Amino acid sequence: STGSVVTTPQQYDVEYLTPVTIGTPGQNLEIDIDTGSSDFWVFSSETPKSQVDGQTCYNPNKSSTAKKLEGATWEIEYGDGSSSSGDVYLDKVKMGGVNFSSQAVEVASKVSAEFTADTNNDGLMGLAFGSINQVRPQKQTTFFENLQSSLDKPLFTADLKSGAPGHFNFGYIDKNAYTGSITYTPVNSTQGFWMWTSPGYTIGASGKFKSSPIEGIADTGTTLLLLPSSVVKAYYKNVSGASYQSSNGGYVFPCDATLPSFYVSVGDDARIKIPGKYMSYAPVDSQGQNCFGGLQTDDGIGFSIFGDVFLKAAFVVFDAGKERLGLAAK
């Protein structure tokens, strides 16, 4: 089998939302596909009304195919301090024409304020590895892991775009979705993530390549590109008026500043070009005077995060069959 589903950026490409159908008859939710986690959780009939602000809620009692996973519970906390928790049902889940009949659907009986405020986001689907799933007493496998053996190829691809809809595809590689060739690099999944190491980077079209291994995760659920502080400092040295502002929680610069492109090396002789335009995330003030950088430090995380600022510049192959990541220009 193969599948393809559209994924639509929210304002400033802060996150991408993807339609997912759960249960019988189908209940349609808009889900944040997150390759940096491994739980599929949704707003539900069990989420207190005071914590719901317009989100679509999955109601297992209205699905003839829902079965409660007795005794199973979950709770999860994300890098930004947001969190959610609840219990678990097994139900039919369909996305992009592929479906799995008994997917663990983690229903939220509690969500933090960040999720309540994220009014178009009805839940998250983690596509990292099941080893970091948070359901207890027995961990659950991800939608992709459940599908894997039935897919034409044991892989999925992400084609996120800047300010436009893109696609997640399952089981095949769309040759029309990228230019040139795909460079593959090994994935180390021992921490449960799509973790890989870039050999280095280049700042600006005429910059010199800097050999400096950067270990990080390919993460569709993180908005920005989070790299070691030495790399980030070197980049913003090239941006007039840029400074680290603790009050804003990162590097900020005048919105009219000229931003150099940033090249992330892949394998022996390939690199992904992030256009300067992608290196500005959003205004920090209502006048739109100063802007928050799309590149920030990975301080405190333990590894770098190749988030949407990077991923939307590439065609990305998450190849579980060969434990590797494929990257191509587009």
Ligand X SMILES: CC1CCN(C(=N)N)CC1
Which residues make up the interface to ligand X (CB under 6 A)? 32, 34, 36-37, 78-80, 82, 114-115, 118, 121, 219, 221-222, 301, 305
**Catalytic annotation present for 39:** no
* DSSP H helix total and E strand total for the chain: 4, 25
d(CA 55, CA 122): 5
Closest CA to 144 of 75, 178, 186, 93: 93
Count of other CB atoms within 10 angstroms of residue 113: 12
Q: Closest approach of Cβ 36 to ligand X, in Å?
A: 2
Q: Closest approach of Cβ 22 to ligand X, in Å?
A: 19
Q: Please, is 150 exposed, middle or buried when counting C-beta atoms within 10 Å of its C-beta (0-12, 13-18, 19+)?
A: middle
- Residue facing ligand X at closest CB distance: 36
Q: Three-state DSSP class for 107?
A: strand
Q: Closest approach of Cβ 126 to ligand X, in Å?
A: 7
Q: Provide the strand spans (E) within 23-97.
A: 27-34, 40-42, 67-77, 83-95
User: Which residue number, 307 or 326, has a Cβ lying nearer to ligand X?
Assistant: 307
d(CA 310, CA 140): 29
User: Which residue number, 63 or 116, has a Cβ lying nearer to ligand X?
Assistant: 116
d(CA 16, CA 25): 25
User: Which residue number, 3 or 221, has a Cβ lying nearer to ligand X?
Assistant: 221
d(CA 320, CA 277): 32
Q: Are 28 and 191 spatial neighbours (Cβ–Cβ below 8 Å)?
A: no
Quick one: residue 239, left, alpha or beta (phi over 0 = left, psi -120 to 50 = alpha)?
beta
Closest CA to 85 of 49, 53, 115: 115
User: Which residue number, 43 or 253, has a Cβ lying nearer to ligand X?
Assistant: 43
Catalytic site residue from 37, 84, 198, 304: 198
Q: Closest approach of Cβ 134 to ligand X, in Å?
A: 11
**Catalytic annotation present for 198:** yes
- Buried b / exposed e along 194-212 (16+ C-beta atoms within 10 A): bbbbbbbbbbeeebeebee
User: Which residue number, 76 or 203, has a Cβ lying nearer to ligand X?
Assistant: 76
Q: Closest approach of Cβ 67 to ligand X, in Å?
A: 27
Catalytic site residue from 34, 87, 219, 319: 34
Q: Closest approach of Cβ 92 to ligand X, in Å?
A: 25
User: Which residue number, 34 or 159, has a Cβ lying nearer to ligand X?
Assistant: 34
Which residues are part of the catalytic machinery?
34, 198
